Amino acid sequence: MMKFTRRVALALTAAALVSPALAADKITLRMSTPASDTDQRSVALEEIFAPAVADFATYEPHYNGSLIKQGAELESIASGDLEMSIASAQELAQFFPEFSIFATGYVHQDAEHQVRVFNDPLMDPFKEKAEAELGVKLLTVMYLGRRHVNLRQTKEELTVNTPDDLAGINLRMPGTDAWQFLGKALGANPTPMAFTEVYTALQTGSVDGQDNPLPTVVDAKFYEVTNQIALTSHLVDLNYVALSKAAWDALTPEQQATMQEAADAAAASAREKQLQKEADLVAFLESEGLEIYEPNLEAFREHVQAQYVGSEFAKSWPEGVLAEINALGN
Ligand code: KDO
């Protein structure tokens, strides 16, 4: 984990690089993500966000982790080497462990719940800390989808009904502590790996499986190298559109309002499309030969939640916030 003092120093350096005097000039927003250009979040930012801010900002997306490797984006924003990313709560938890509450299995219930939580005052101290100590402004929340367990094994070889069935299964999870904890909480043997390496790892059998929402399984073509999906819905996953606070501060209030609106509109559009894809893609994946089924969800929910109770992560959650999140649910 990065040291507090270094974080502050990096944020201050970045702030000094972009002065408000530049507000009349166009700023460049370098955005880095491990996602592809056809991912719905990428598409919405390019088609909705970019044109809306084009008068005062040039949006410059970099896909497939080609500019900054997955997981290093926030540090790059803090040091002034990047202006934007599609950040996960798990990545923020690397700096501020309390963000793990938004990365915990079976906490968010659906896409609308994510939006209510993000816009609720309960989020303010989280947002303020990321701004003040990392120089990162969380602009809006994007819906990635329901993460499920996607394996190379056929259902005949391995039927996943409860977490016990995942014992010994090498499940690729993204490479931060919060992700690895979730993989273990599912009952699997989590293996950290960057998103861009997952297809080959599945193809060669160096991992048994991975977890992602159906639209990602299709977009990244994981269905070509796997045989089943157990619909565990263990995480209703989100990302934040993360922006350099220094870049934000260089804008006029009018430009800031335009940018905020643009980010919210892009997120809303991507959310609708992603939800539609989740509903539609089961048939496509089945036609590709994958077996898709629901395991014992109660068994998964109980097991996952039990792992978090009393964990180091749970100890970092501010008092009462879990209850507030739950109260915003259905
Ligand atoms: C992944 O690495 O599995 C993950 O789904 C994690 C998300 O937080 C998100 O960053 C996503 O990858 C990438 O954007 C690729 O879709």
Find the mean pLDDT for residues 223-232: 98
297 Cα: distance to centroid of ligand 1 (angstroms): 23
Give 240's pLDDT tier (boundaries 50, 70, 90): very high
Give 98's pLDDT tier (boundaries 50, 70, 90): very high
Is 113 contained in some domain? yes
Nearest atom within ligand 1 for CA of residue 39? 16
Pairing verdict, β 27-32 and 189-192: unpaired
Check residue 20 and give its pLDDT. Answer: 45
Residue 3 has pLDDT above 80, yes or no: no
Check residue 25 and give its pLDDT. Answer: 84
Is 285 contained in some domain? yes
Find the mean pLDDT for residues 196-209: 98
Q: What is the CATH number of the domain that holds 273?
A: 3.40.190.170
Check residue 9 and give its pLDDT. Answer: 47
Find the mean pLDDT for residues 194-223: 98
Residue 285 has pLDDT above 80, yes or no: yes
Check residue 120 and give its pLDDT. Answer: 98
Find the mean pLDDT for residues 137-148: 98
Contact of 100 with 316, CB cutoff 8 Å = yes
Is 5 contained in some domain? no
Residue 5 has pLDDT above 60, yes or no: no
> The tokens 């930012």 sit on which residue?
45
Length of the chain: 330
Counting the structural domains of the chain, the total is 1
Is 178 contained in some domain? yes
- The mean pLDDT of the chain is 94
Q: Which residues pair with 212 in a beta bridge?
A: 148
Is 14 contained in some domain? no
> Side chain identity at 281, as an amino acid letter?
L
Q: What are phi and psi of 262, to 5 degrees?
A: -65, -40
Is 18 contained in some domain? no
Nearest to 53 by CA among 240, 239, 252: 252
Residue 177 has pLDDT above 80, yes or no: yes
| Distance in angstroms (rounded) separating the CA atoms of residues 168 and 207 | 11
Quote the percentage of the chain above a pLDDT of 70: 93
Q: Which of 42, 88, 234 to mutate to test the pocket of ligand 1 (most atoms within 8 A of CB)?
A: 88
Check residue 12 and give its pLDDT. Answer: 44
Quote the percentage of the chain above a pLDDT of 90: 92
Give 4's pLDDT tier (boundaries 50, 70, 90): very low
Which pLDDT tens digit goes with each residue over 40-63?
999 999 999 999 999 999 999 999
Check residue 306 and give its pLDDT. Answer: 96
Of 22-31, 184-193, 274-283, minimum mean pLDDT range? 22-31
Give 2's pLDDT tier (boundaries 50, 70, 90): very low
Q: Which of 68, 114, 144 to mutate to test the pocket of ligand 1 (most atoms within 8 A of CB)?
A: 144
| Distance in angstroms (rounded) separating the CA atoms of residues 185 and 203 | 25
As given in the structure block, the two tokens for residue 237 are 């996953």
Strand, coil or helix: 320: coil
Q: List the domain range (segments joined by +) for residue 133.
A: 27-328
Is 12 contained in some domain? no
Find the residues whose C-beta lies inside 6 A of ligand 1.
Answer: 33-35, 39, 86, 88, 144, 174, 195, 212, 216, 239
Is 20 contained in some domain? no
